[in-house]
Amino acid sequence: QKLSGVVSTSKTGETIIQLDKDERFEKIMEMISTSGLTITKPTAIQIPLSFEEGEIVFFNESDKDATEEMINEFIGKYAIGTSRVLMWEEDTSLYFGVINTVDGIAEIHYIKIQIGKD
């Protein structure tokens, strides 16, 4: 009998716990909310300068630690002095960003987390 979400790899036979998209989404939202930041979902983002600060794939339970580390590093470096983080979705990815003003110019720094379709 096979368990839903549990997959054995053919090379090593190790068990990989594969999370569905909703589970991945919830885990990411928990990671962000533990930082104390409010998640805001704008209808559109139009910032003169944008910088992708990281990208990661989060499909399996084994990806969780690296994803959480990237989120924490991003928040620690770019979300200083703000109470919110922006979130938007494109295709199969979630984006989290923070807007900062440098020399009078707005910049958005963001990370991309691929969570897949299912």
Q: Domain total for the chain?
A: 1
- Does a structural domain hold residue 51? yes
Residues of the chain above pLDDT 70, percent: 88
- Does a structural domain hold residue 32? yes
Q: Which pLDDT value is given to residue 15?
A: 77
Q: Could you list the residue range(s) of the whole structural domain that residue 29 is in?
A: 20-114
Q: Which pLDDT value is given to residue 100?
A: 93
The Cα 39–Cα 21 span in angstroms is: 19
Q: Which pLDDT value is given to residue 8?
A: 47
The number of CA neighbours under 13 Å toward the Cβ of 70 is 21
Q: Which pLDDT value is given to residue 1?
A: 41
pTM higher than the cut 0.75: yes
Tens of pLDDT, residue by residue over 17-64, are 888 889 999 999 999 988 899 999 999 888 889 999 999 999 998 999
List the structure tokens of 87.
């979130």
3-state secondary structure (DSSP) of residue 91 = coil
Q: Which pLDDT value is given to residue 10?
A: 47
Alpha helices in the chain (DSSP H): 21-33, 64-78
- Does a structural domain hold residue 5? no
Residues of the chain above pLDDT 90, percent: 68
70 pLDDT above the threshold of 70: yes
- Does a structural domain hold residue 12? no
